[in-house]
Structure 1
C-alpha cells in the first residue's frame, strides 16, 4: 500500500499492515511547534558523544552509554527514545544502535554534522528565542540576546570562534559538496578567497584546476585565517597560496579573480555593497568576481535557502536572495553578471566582471 498525501487532512506518516492513517492538521501543527524540543535533544545527544560511541563501537546498553558520557541513565534513555521515531537510533536486544542517519552526528563520520549540532546548541539556539524582537524591529535576535552583533560575540571567546569554524567546515563538506564539480575557473592567475576561513574552498578549486601556474590568497580576519596554514600544508599548496589577514569592508588584495563563497548572505544590502565596493576598488578592469550562494526560488516549493533565511534574519541581519536580487546587488556595485552556473548542490555560481 502506498502512502498518499491528503491536502485537507495532512500527510500520512503512520501506517500498519492494513491501513494508512492521515494525520490531522492539529497533530501536524503540534509536531511543527515542538520542533525546538527535537533539535535540542539532538544537540545535547551529539554534544554528549552518544552517536560517536555507537558509530565507532557498535550497539551499547543505556547503562554503558550513560557511564561513558557522564549522563543520567533515565534521562538519556528518554532522550534517545524521543528521537528514535525520526530514524536517528534503533533499539535491538536491549541495546541502542545508531542508524545511517544518526551516524552523521558522529565526530568520526566522513560527512559528520557534529560541528553543526554542537555549534547550533552553543551559538544559535538561545539567541533565536528573541525572534519576536526581530519581527517587531528588524534588528537581529542575536544582537538583542548577546547585546552585540553575532560575529562580535563569537570573536570574544576563542572556543566559540573554534566552534564557528568547525560548523563552517561542515557546511563546506556537506551542504556545499559538489558545488565545484566540473567547474572551470575563469582566466586569471591570482585568485583571492575573501572570507576564506581555513582555506578549504580555495584548496578545492586549486586542486581540481588544470593550471599549475594559478596562485591564491586566503583572506580573512585575524584569528580566523590562521587556521588556513594547516589546511594548505596538508594539501601541499602552502607554496602557491598566501594567507593574509584583513577586513574586506575596508580593503582587499589585488587579484585577477575574486571569490565570495557564502559571504554576501551574511549581510544586508548596505553592508554587502560595502564588501563589493572594496572589491571594485582593488580590481582592475576585466577582473572576475565569483559569487557562490544559494538562490531563493520565487515559488512556494521547498528549498534550503528558505530555512537558511531564518538563520540570517535572526542571527546576522543578513538575507538569502533571489537571482534577480543578486543581479541588482552586483550591478549596483558596478559588476556585470556574465553567467549563472547551476551546480549539483543547492548553490549556484554567479560569475561577473568589472568592465
Structure 2
C-alpha cells in the first residue's frame, strides 16, 4: 500500500512538472512570435497556437487531464463522463438562438433572455449557469450574462447549425446505437442504423437529408465548420504530399487529377494555385456542384484548369487520370461500400496511376509508425468512430484495416506511402495501381 502511495505521489509530481515545462515552451513560442496568451475573452482569436507549440500543447492537455482524473477519483470520474445533461444546455442554446440574444461585446439579463427565448427567467438561469461551468457564457455580475470566446462562436450561423444537428439529431441517434446493433447484427447498410431508428424511417441519412432542402442546407452549413479547423485545413493537402511527383501520361507534363467527392472545389482551388502543372476534375453529386464553376476565383476560371462533373461514387469511373483523390470520403462508408467505390475506379486506371486517400487513421496499441497520438486526440477519435457507426454504419480505420480494405478491393492496389502532415487530423495514403 505504501509503495502505491509513493507511486501516486511521484506520478502527480511528474505530471505537474510536465505541465510546467510544456507551458513554459508554449509561452516561449508565443513570446518569440509576438502572439498573446490564450484567453476565454469573447474577442480573443480562435486557433491562436502556432505549429511550433502544438507538441507542447498536446503534452499539457494530456497531463492536465490525467492529473484532473487522478485527483477526481473513480466515482466522480464515471459520473462526469456518464452525464447526459451537458447536451441539454447546448441544445437549448442552439434551438432558441441564445448566443444571438446576448449582443457581441454587451450583456443581457437572464430575465430578457428568458423572455425572448420563451423559456422563462428561472430555466434560462439554470441552463446557462450550467453552460458557464464549461466556459460557455459568463456572469460578470449577478443576473447578467455576457459572452465568452466559446459562446460568441456559437452565435455564428454555421456553429448554430452544427450544434442544432449535434444535439437535435446526433445525440438522440446515439441513444439508439445498441438497439440498432441488436436489430441488425453485423449490418453494413446505411439505412439500418441508430440514426434510422431515431428518425423512425427506413431511409439512410443521405436520403433523409436529401429529401428536405431545409435540413440539407443546415447540414451543408454545419459542415463548413470543419473547414475552419486548423487540423482540417487545405494547407495539409497542399503541403503534405508532393503532387508534382505524380507520373504524368500527358503531353507537356500536365498531371490530370480527379478530386472525387470534392464538393464545390475549395481543396482543388488550393492545389491548382500551388501547382501549375495540375489539371483537376472535381466530381460530386449534381446538386452539390451546382454553380461551382461560377464561384471559381477569376484567375483559375481564366486558366480553365478546374472543371466540375456530376458523378455517382459507385458508378464506373469514366475519366482517365494520373491520380484520383479521395479526401475524407471513405470513412463515411462500411467496408463493402468502400470496396465498391474502389472497384468502380479500376476501369479508368492505367498501370502506375495513383489513388491518393486522405482520411482518418486510427491508432493501435503498440503501433507508432505515424507517431504517438495524444490521449486527448485519441479520445476524440474514439468518439467519432462511434458516431460513424451511429449515423452511417461506417467506421474509422487503423492503418492495418486500410491495408486490408485495399487488398479486398483488388490485389492490384499497392499501398506505397503513408504520411501524416504535422498538425493534420488526416493521414495521406498513396496507393499505386499495379495490375
The TM tier, using the shorter chain, reads 0.7 to 0.9
State the partner residue of 2:202: 147
**Residues 259 and 89 of structure 1: is their aligned pair in 2 closer, same or farther, counting only changes over 3 Å?**
same
* Counterpart secondary structure, 1:91: strand
**Residues 251 and 172 of structure 1: is their aligned pair in 2 closer, same or farther, counting only changes over 3 Å?**
farther
Quote the Cα distance in structure 1 between the aligned partners of 2:115 and 2:398.
49
Displacement of 1:53 in angstroms is 5.0
State the partner residue of 1:179: 236
Quote the Cα distance in structure 2 between the aligned partners of 1:41 and 1:248.
39
State the partner residue of 1:190: 256
State the partner residue of 1:117: 163
Quote the Cα distance in structure 2 between the aligned partners of 1:270 and 1:158.
29
Larger fraction in helix: 2
Larger Rg: 2
Is 1:134 aligned to residue 134 of structure 2?
no
Displacement of 1:12 in angstroms is 6.2
Displacement of 1:66 in angstroms is 3.9
State the partner residue of 1:201: 267
* Counterpart secondary structure, 2:300: coil
TM-score, normalised by the number of residues in structure 1: 0.84
Displacement of 1:26 in angstroms is 1.8
State the partner residue of 2:355: 289
Is 1:30 aligned to residue 79 of structure 2?
yes
Displacement of 1:320 in angstroms is 0.5
1:7-26 to structure 2, matched below 5 A, reads 13=68, 22-26=71-75
Map Cα deviations across residues 43-78 of structure 1 (whole Å, 9 max, x no partner). Answer: 331343333454734332223434555553332222
State the partner residue of 2:36: none
Is 1:317 aligned to residue 383 of structure 2?
no
Quote the Cα distance in structure 1 between the aligned partners of 2:268 and 2:310.
15
Out of 279-288 and 62-71, give the one that drifted further.
62-71
Quote the Cα distance in structure 2 between the aligned partners of 1:106 and 1:234.
29
TM-score, normalised by the number of residues in structure 2: 0.70
Quote the Cα distance in structure 1 between the aligned partners of 2:420 and 2:155.
31
Is 1:266 aligned to residue 322 of structure 2?
no
Displacement of 1:339 in angstroms is 1.1
Quote the Cα distance in structure 1 between the aligned partners of 2:331 and 2:257.
21
Is 1:98 aligned to residue 140 of structure 2?
no
Runs of 5+ unmatched residues, structure 1: 15-20
Quote the Cα distance in structure 2 between the aligned partners of 1:170 and 1:236.
26
Quote the Cα distance in structure 1 between the aligned partners of 2:324 and 2:307.
14
Is 1:249 aligned to residue 314 of structure 2?
yes
1:340 aligns with one of 418, 423, 427:
418
**Residues 118 and 255 of structure 1: is their aligned pair in 2 closer, same or farther, counting only changes over 3 Å?**
farther
Map Cα deviations across residues 244-282 of structure 1 (whole Å, 9 max, x no partner). Answer: 212110133332221111111111111101101112222
Output the aligned Cα RMSD. Answer: 2.9
State the partner residue of 1:225: 289
**Residues 235 and 33 of structure 1: is their aligned pair in 2 closer, same or farther, counting only changes over 3 Å?**
farther
Asked if the contact 2:110/2:124 (under 8 Å) is kept, the reply is: yes
Asked if the contact 1:254/1:282 (under 8 Å) is kept, the reply is: yes
Is 1:43 aligned to residue 91 of structure 2?
yes
Quote the Cα distance in structure 2 between the aligned partners of 1:224 and 1:71.
38
Out of 163-172 and 258-267, give the one that drifted further.
163-172
**Residues 274 and 101 of structure 1: is their aligned pair in 2 closer, same or farther, counting only changes over 3 Å?**
same
1:157 aligns with one of 196, 212, 222:
212
Asked if the contact 2:111/2:120 (under 8 Å) is kept, the reply is: no
* Counterpart secondary structure, 2:149: coil
Quote the Cα distance in structure 2 between the aligned partners of 1:83 and 1:44.
10
* Counterpart secondary structure, 1:182: helix
**Number of aligned residue pairs:** 337
Displacement of 1:86 in angstroms is 1.2
Quote the Cα distance in structure 1 between the aligned partners of 2:162 and 2:149.
17
